[in-house]
Structure 1
């Protein structure tokens, strides 16, 4: 989310447009071909890309960039190359030196697009992504907890305990090494690896919910909550979300999905089988630690759920996420909803309805 906000700030400054072709700005990405199959000897079949790669596509995961931990073809490619996470280099360009999975704008797969966007932010700002986020997003919000380097002095003692499922006992145990998403890397990866407190992250979401213009203009926030995918990409996402175990969260038949700028957009909820009534245009997403968040502008609500459990998605966490949302919407039922337009919201009425941190002991 923070990297997306940073990119939209660049758009507001007219340094780049959402539909700008970034191939020349990111030559390591621009030279990538498309993986279309495999030769008999196990080598990849590649063809040249036809379509441009745009900032919008990178932000919405329809650029063709993938993650090898989510894609079998990229796992196969790593095996063919003889590389692993431990042997790969430590920068975005080196880590994601891999072919595209499809023609940009013609399908959908969650992947490394936002990691590449982080490189654009650094290019245009002349700052590291961490320094940019601290100065231009966290500081205007009065926050201070953000870092990509949790083992740096001043952060280690603040880290939450991470638990993992013991395959033998089927019980949760402390993950001794924690989960350092930035292990072996030497620069900021915009798509993952950012650390902050739950309260600070909720404050960022609250700024977007309230349209208070502390970090983004209202027109930019409006874009975040609008459908961004072309038809083929949206159809692919909708098929992907039929697998309710695809990602962390609480999803139901009858919902129509798209991608906004910053998260999964629940575009239509009228046919939803959910036991609570989230509004159309609700933005949600999650993390590898079974974290989940939502921003529902129709109902004037946001929520941040953190469990610090790996791996994800953990099916025992899902009922807790469901209960978290049910309770939030139930408490809100007798409150008067408020408009997403800041001028219509008395400041004293803006409140965080519920932010809870759950500690799962087993």
Structure 2
């Protein structure tokens, strides 16, 4: 088995590191640590402190899981329902009244009225039709025709995600602002900001400290978040500021900053024998496959493998598409990976800066790999994440956990 720690140390060491810093943690259902390693620095400054499990990272799309949990807390309480379109019509009228694109790329833009209802279940599984404007040329043309720049990651809500749908609800899969909409739904139903709701209903429940939230100044203090970086042409690391603009909106699809140790506290609860955030029945719902075989959303998801492999390649890169589905909290692996062993039932997703989380309630293991390296799927990061995942499964197996 390759030594994950040694590889990370090599990648983050020296005058010209390949990656700025990495922190990785994994636990089992009994609360035991399977792996803990941190290597590298928190910024490009010569005197930057070392990265650690308490360093605050830019979560980007790893935020989505937390918004799913917030939504399911309200479902569990009976305040929201997964399949009640009236909730969307009442609380998200901006989304409810959007049209659906009918033109193909390169054609004059054409839209039609939405014919099918939108539900929270579709938002949590990216099957509502909503997509990020930067991911579809037709949405970019739509923005341009309105004299607007791309706003997916640099605009306030709801305007940043208020674009025509790519398909009728429930008839496809498209990665986009669905969890931002779900976060807005949580806010409007609860009367709290998403950050305040998550603090009360998720973070405090599992004992997270102040190093998680949407207000970067409060979360990271003077030290700030781990600097987000990318590779320059000569292989050196350069600054990659994120987000592109300082936003007031609490974006449920990608706005949280969080330390690795806080994120793992949440993941640990998802696999715990006696969970606190969600009941066992609701957790079973969280991890259940949502798309039936032969359905349009499942076919579209599997056709979008470049999207999900850039986020979860360490877990899904060697799997057949037949083993891919979607849960209410992320991508779902439904068959064992021969390279890992018992991995069916693993739910996972990632973030733009090569962060990766996974949780398998049946196997009782969960882990988080955190870094600040853009773009997602960057080669060296993907290699390290793959080594991390394999070592976690190996350690779990050696301890008789699998």
> Are residues 178 and 39 of structure 1, via their aligned partners in 2, closer, same or farther at CA, if it must alter by over 3 Å?
closer
Partner of 1:267: 334
Partner of 1:100: 165
SS at match of 1:283: strand
Taking only aligned residues, the RMSD between alpha carbons, in angstroms, comes to 2.3
Task: Give 1:64 deviation, angstroms.
Answer: 0.3
CA distance in 1, matches of 2:401, 2:362: 7
TM-score normalized by structure 1? 0.85
> Are residues 140 and 153 of structure 1, via their aligned partners in 2, closer, same or farther at CA, if it must alter by over 3 Å?
closer
CA distance in 2, matches of 1:304, 1:278: 18
Q: How far does the alpha carbon of each residue in 1:135-169 deviate from its partner, in whole angstroms, 9 at most, with x for none?
A: 11111111122211213485341411222111x31
CA distance in 2, matches of 1:267, 1:217: 22
CA distance in 1, matches of 2:154, 2:351: 24
Q: How far does the alpha carbon of each residue in 1:209-237 deviate from its partner, in whole angstroms, 9 at most, with x for none?
A: 11433111111111111011252101111
Partner of 1:4: 68
2:142 is aligned with 1:77: yes
> Are residues 28 and 237 of structure 1, via their aligned partners in 2, closer, same or farther at CA, if it must alter by over 3 Å?
same
CA distance in 2, matches of 1:288, 1:83: 24
CA distance in 1, matches of 2:186, 2:347: 23
CA contact (8 A) 1:249 1:285 kept: no
Partner of 2:340: 276
Larger % of helix: which?
A: 2
CA contact (8 A) 1:34 1:101 kept: yes
Structure 2's unaligned 5+ residue stretches are 1-64
CA contact (8 A) 2:132 2:152 kept: no
Task: Give 1:248 deviation, angstroms.
Answer: 4.4
CA distance in 2, matches of 1:88, 1:172: 26
SS at match of 1:284: strand
CA distance in 2, matches of 1:243, 1:13: 33
SS at match of 2:138: helix
> Are residues 56 and 333 of structure 1, via their aligned partners in 2, closer, same or farther at CA, if it must alter by over 3 Å?
same
Structure 1 runs of 4+ aligned residues shifted over 6 Å read 86-89
CA contact (8 A) 2:91 2:189 kept: no
Which deviates the most, 141-150 or 115-124?
A: 141-150
CA distance in 1, matches of 2:151, 2:128: 26
Partner of 2:205: 140
The one of 113, 119, 125 aligned to 1:60? 125
Higher relative contact order (CA 8 A, sep 6+): 2
CA contact (8 A) 2:213 2:219 kept: no
2:376 is aligned with 1:312: yes
Structure 1's unaligned 5+ residue stretches are 339-362
Partner of 2:225: 159
SS at match of 2:91: coil
Task: Give 1:57 deviation, angstroms.
Answer: 0.2
Which deviates the most, 54-63 or 154-163?
A: 154-163
The one of 13, 17, 25 aligned to 2:91? 25
